[in-house]
Chain A
Amino acid sequence: MKALCWHGANDVRVDNVPDPKILNRRDAILKITSTAICGSDLHLYNGFIPSMQSGDIMGHEFMGEIVELGSAVKNFSIGDRVVVPFTIACGNCFSCNRNLWSLCDNSNPNAFMAEALYGYSAAGLFGYSHIFGGYAGGQAEYVRVPFADTGLLKIPDELTDEQVLFLTDIFPTGYMAAENCNIKPGDTVAVWGCGPVGQFAIKSAYLLGAERVIAIDRVPERLKMAKEQSGAEVINYEEIDPGEALKEMTGGRGPDSCIDAVGLEAHGTGLDSLYDQAKQSVRLETDRPTALRQILVACGKGGTVSIPGVYGGVIDKLPIGAAFNKGLTLKMGQTHVHNYLRPLLEHIQKGDIDPSYVITHRMKLDDAPKGYEIFKHKKQDCIKIVLTP
């Protein structure tokens, strides 16, 4: 089959590789019908996530049709059209039983690597380096899905791929980010980063009852999408200091909660962002927390900081005093996608949201390397790329 393989920083290629096989009784094999490039794939593409190996198949946002089932999968049939959570979860362990699916105890075969870095290992992820299991991803023609009996969601015929594809990651990720804000009536939520996760966090904050949502980015078309699709107020941080602007816009109180939908490769305008880029480029710092620093200072007293943006290692000069002295609550982590599949599918079915509005580019899998370049440099006003085999 054809698959998009990582061969090093800024080097991904469509290779011919063997088709995946059933390896365990709870596996399924899917024929991919649609797959997307995620902002977090760019962290791999840019070489910031350790433990990638040349030849690794990328991609964790994908859906398709079941073509083969392991002997223990009884609740799905060949031919079912399904979406797949990017977090792999067994459904049997203590973490899964508490609905902390992205912290599954059992799905990472390389747990020892994650334990060395993080103390304990979270769930395995598709196509996201060997620390997270080394599972082959879904930017391919076929994919093997472990624990298929627990993870898959069957999709009704009347919904298109583009309407449901983002249930795999970015829609639940944006939604959980907003849910973590514990939104109460009258609340203002500020969202840093208007990529796809930021867009869904904005939409979800309104769905969960936010009075106002203020979106912060520097890319005009992303701010425009936040404004037009969700009704957010916007701040371009290259034009105005977001901390000052937020204070003025909220009667001097500051936002009740802030969402970091940027993560470890933040850009910025100040000296600190140059400092981080320099340190990160020589690997003295793995993550560049420009957005998170701003957030901790900008968030109002007693507020909540919700972090869906990916961090992988260590960061410098985090203003922990701002967080401590304002009594902030920090909530973060990979998304417990399994919790959100059905409720968010219902929102889509009822017409509350059609997540396909974030798609700006549709390409063939063969053109994926070009897609990564376009997405990385935000060329052609690119926000989200969907690939079909």
Chain B
Amino acid sequence: METEISKINQPEQTQESLSDHERWASIIGGSAMVLMGLQQRSLRGVLTAIAGGSLAYHGATADKSLTDKVADAVGINKSIKVEKTVTINKSAAELYEYWHNFENLPTFMKHVRSVQVIDMRRSHWVANAPMGQTVEWDADIINDQPNQLIAWASIEGASVDNSGFVRFTPAPDDRGTEVKVVMEYDMPGGMVTAAIAKLFGEEPEQQIGDELRRFKQLMETGEIATTEGQPRG
């Protein structure tokens, strides 16, 4: 299977290497599994590496980031990586527009309590954690291609280290738009890790899948299918 990030994951062979622009283009335009190409690498490392030098994130080389290397060495790399795709019967422009206002996301992301957009780049996230607790972090948009892609990463030192992108690709013929989400939560250990792990339960794939499904329901039908609150004996 062709993989996308494999193209950007071979620094030795690519001394005259792909430009950042080309690397993003391969993520935006590719069709195969993203995480297959990622293998043991951190998504954050890849995304922030190709986000360009203007952002001071760790892992600003095409190689593994130092934190990745340390985590691998001591065996505490408990990152959750998820990739899910759904096809939605709406134009990429409509879907991009709704998603781009991050304050809309809690409508279909059950574990996210609120998102506050601070400015063009930064947003503040509050997520539900077990026992009525919440976890909070700030994230920056690190790439924004209208109607195609939004990539984000939590800022340096955030209590919840996460990164990812959502990509909107036209589906063949009249099938709408393929929406792919690739996300990674890094697990530095401690309380927050436990909280995040519980947040996603045993099945982070299912949770992201359910969120994408609710996004599809909302965009296509105007509502989210539910039976919560119906009678039973």
Contacts and interface: CB of A to CB of B under 8 A. Distances in A.
Interface string B215-233: 0110011111111111111
B220 A15 contact: no
Contacts of B174: 94, 97
Nearest to A2: B233
Q: How large is the interface on A (under 10, 10 to 19, 20 to 34, 35 or more residues)?
A: 35 or more
Contacts, number: 93
A278 to B, nearest CB: 33
B interface secondary structure, majority? loop
B206 interface: yes
Contact of B232 (A93, A109, A136, A147): A136
B110 interface: no
Interface stretch (A18-26, A160-168, A350-358, A362-370): A18-26
A298 B161 CA distance: 63
Interface stretch (A100-108, A243-251, A268-276, A376-384): A100-108
Interface in B152-190: 174-176
Contacts of A91: 221
Interface in A46-92: 53-57, 72, 90-92
Given A17-B233, A55-B232, A92-B220, A136 B213 contact: no
A55 B227 CA distance: 14
B68 to A, nearest CB: 31
A18 B226 CA distance: 17
B21 to A, nearest CB: 34
B209 interface: yes
Nearest to A91: B221
Contacts of B206: 112
B9 interface: no
B91 interface: no
Given A13-B233, A25-B222, A106-B216, 14 more contacts: A1-B231, A5-B233, A17-B233, A20-B231, A21-B229, A23-B229, A24-B225, A57-B233, A72-B222, A94-B87, A94-B174, A115-B209, A136-B232, A146-B225
20 contacts: A21-B229, A23-B227, A23-B228, A23-B230, A24-B224, A25-B223, A26-B222, A54-B233, A57-B232, A90-B217, A91-B221, A92-B220, A92-B221, A93-B221, A94-B87, A111-B213, A112-B209, A133-B225, A135-B227, A135-B230
Q: Which 7 A-B pairs have the closest CB atoms?
A: A5-B233, A15-B233, A55-B233, A17-B231, A55-B232, A90-B221, A92-B220
